[in-house]
Amino acid sequence: MNTGAVAIHPRRGRQVLCQRVAETVVLLDPVSGCYFTLDDVGAHIWELCDGSHDVDQIAASVCTVYEAAPEIVRTDVVELLEELVAEGLLGDDGAPA
């Protein structure tokens, strides 16, 4: 599985504005003017992107909270993180905060 685009310890971009609306989280990148919505699982992943959790820890948390199979969850987590990186919403300082 390719995790090259995903940071070791994903961190939410400082410029990204975030607001929870019911069961979703809305992200706004004021630089690009684009906004994104995340469902409940995506919001859980986003909240763990604080620079102190690595990809495996994020996937393990999703498995625990949502009682899902680890092999499926890790793939889905990596895919979402890669999308967030591609959109410029995540960064990494290479080490835990």
How confident is the model over 6-58, as pLDDT tens digits? 668 999 999 999 999 988 999 999 989 999 999 999 999 999 999 999 999 99
Check pLDDT > 90 for residue 93.
no
Looking at residues 62-89, what average pLDDT do you find?
94
Place of tokens 């994020």: 58
The domain covering 11-88 belongs, at the CATH homologous superfamily level, to Coenzyme PQQ synthesis protein D (PqqD) (1.10.10.1150)
Residue 28's identity, in one-letter code, is L
CA–CA dist 38, 20 (Å, integer): 9
pLDDT band at 61 (very low <50, low <70, confident <90, very high): very high
Domain boundaries, the chain: 11-88
Determine the Cα angle at 59 with ends 57 and 65, to 5°.
Answer: 100
pLDDT given at position 22: 87
Residue 16 near residue 28 (C-beta atoms within 8 A): yes
Q: How would residue 94 be classed by pLDDT, with cut points 50, 70 and 90? A: very low
The DSSP call for residue 9 is: S
Please tell me the predicted confidence (pLDDT) of residue 1.
Answer: 39
Tokens 């690009």 locate to 32
